[in-house]
Structure 1
Amino acid sequence: MTESQNSEKPETLIEFPCHYELKAMGPHCETFIDLVFNTTQKHVADVAREAIRLNPSKTGKYVSVKIKFYATHIEQIHGIYGELNAHPDVLWTL
């Protein structure tokens, strides 16, 4: 291995493949939950609807949607976050 190969930094600290959990917050409605699921499914075809966990806000106006999936590469995660963060109903993502 050359010195330049040794000094290269990884693109991500996440080791792939891995189990990954995404979290998004938005209005508490079925449309928002579907948005998170459908966006994730677009990038991770085998994600299950049962992988979703909901946590409503104290007032019930907002909901935190957590979804676990098996990620095989960083582009999946970047694609999901990119689409969700561009949507006007998404307040934040983690």
Structure 2
Amino acid sequence: MTTDLHTPDNESLIEFPCDFKLKAMGKNCESFVELVYQVTIKHAPETPRENIEITDSKGQKFVSVNITFYATSIQQVHGIYGDLKKHPEVLMTL
């Protein structure tokens, strides 16, 4: 199920600017964490590495990467999620 972050008149339901936490899931490897971080800093270059949180799946085959960044607009958020969804290593985003 996809949740639209817009109201009918195309205004965001999120007040910007704000801290925004994204989540991306993929196979458990260091390159996946780096991929999610690189996509994030492409759109939010001031995001420090310290804002990365990693959670392994129960069997440790998969990983959830959470990154909190300072979001300035809905277009910025959509840009990050759009780039992540295009990448074959990304299994899911929230």
**CA–CA distance in structure 1, aligned partners of residues 85 and 18 of structure 2:** 22
TM-score (norm 1): 0.89
Unaligned runs of 5+ in 2: 1-7
Q: Which AA in structure 2 matches 1:15?
A: E
**CA–CA distance in structure 2, aligned partners of residues 55 and 67 of structure 1:** 12
Partner residue of 1:3? none
Aligned residues: 87
Q: Please identify runs of 4+ aligned residues in structure 1 that moved more than 2 A.
A: 8-11
Partner residue of 1:60? 60
Deviation string, structure 1 residues 12-55 (Cα, Å, up to 9, x no partner):
10110011000000011111000000000000010010100000
2:92 is the counterpart of 1:92: yes
Unaligned runs of 5+ in 1: 1-7
Q: Which AA in structure 2 matches 1:37?
A: Y
TM-score (norm 2): 0.89
Matching of residues 6-85 of structure 1 within 5 Å? 9-85=9-85
Give the number of the structure whose residues are more often helix, by fraction: 1
